Amino acid sequence: MDLLKVDRLSIGYGPNKRLAKNINLALKSGELVGLVGQNGVGKSTFIRTISGLQPLLEGEIYLSSESIHSISQKSIAQKISVVLTGKPDSLNLSVLELITLGRHPYSGWLGNLKKEDKEIIEQSISQMEINYLVKKRLFELSDGQLQKVMIARALAQDTDLIILDEPTSHLDLKNKIEVLQLLKKIAISGKSVLISTHEIQLSSQVCDQFWCMDFGKEMLIGKPRALIKDGTLQDYLHIPKNTLI
């Protein structure tokens, strides 16, 4: 079954600022998908729209066969976890406190944690391999460490779909590779993962599909290596064909 299905979707900020239209696609369990395209093409808007954070202009979004219009915000938060760009508002929180926030769709804002909540938090920390960081404050972390903590919070939310906006931006090469490999492991475990990324070369090694956006064009969908090998991706994104080989 498709965890996410998009039908004839148009996104943007009103009829006078439509960024993309007629988007049709589906995301299945266990897939890691990379959303690629130039700056300003609408990748972040697309992510916010399918996450229920921004109104769509036209079309429909389905989460596990349910229209997003018929689902409460609490239910959406139990189906999709989102890691956007930017740092948390308070960097004085501990790593454990931030990850615990991922349980709010289940525990409420009073944060009354049950045994199951604590077990899921512990599993999320272990899965991201950050046990050694739990007592640190966020301001003490490197960019790479903070990104892993943000992903752990999304894991603690225990959703079938995790969406990340530029999860490797501002990271050095070592941390880019580590984060992408951890996201691949998350997908292999059965969750669906969608990332927007400019790291085409690196993400092509781990992504099952690319969803490619360009101004005024229908979305290009395919397997990364196949799109790169025959030059389709390079033509679509207006980059030299030998760039990604």
pLDDT digits (tens, 9 = 90+) for 156-212: 999 999 999 999 988 999 999 999 999 999 999 999 999 999 999 999 999 999 999
Return the CA Rg of the chain. Answer: 18
Q: Which residues of the chain have pLDDT under 50?
A: none
pTM (2 decimals)? Answer: 0.93
Residue whose tokens read 């992903």: 151
Query: Structurally, what CATH architecture does the domain formed by 1-79+161-245 represent?
Result: 3-Layer(aba) Sandwich (3.40)
pLDDT value of position 183:
96
pLDDT at 130: 96
The alpha carbon of 154 is separated from its chain's Cα centroid by a whole number of angstroms, namely 10
Picking from 108, 117, 144, 140, the residue whose alpha carbon sits closest to that of residue 129 is 144
- Measure the CA–CA gap between 193 and 28, rounded to whole angstroms: 9
**213: Cβ contacts below 8 Å, ≥ 6 apart:** 20, 35, 36, 37, 41, 42, 43, 46, 219
What pLDDT does 62 receive?
A: 94
Predicted confidence at residue 178, as pLDDT, reads 94
What lies within 8 Å, CB to CB, of 61 at 6+ separation is 4, 5, 6, 7, 9, 49, 50, 52, 67, 68
> Is residue 219 helix, strand or coil?
coil
At residue 110, the pLDDT reads 61
pLDDT of the residue at 107: 80
CATH code 3.40.50.300 region(s) in the chain: 1-79+161-245
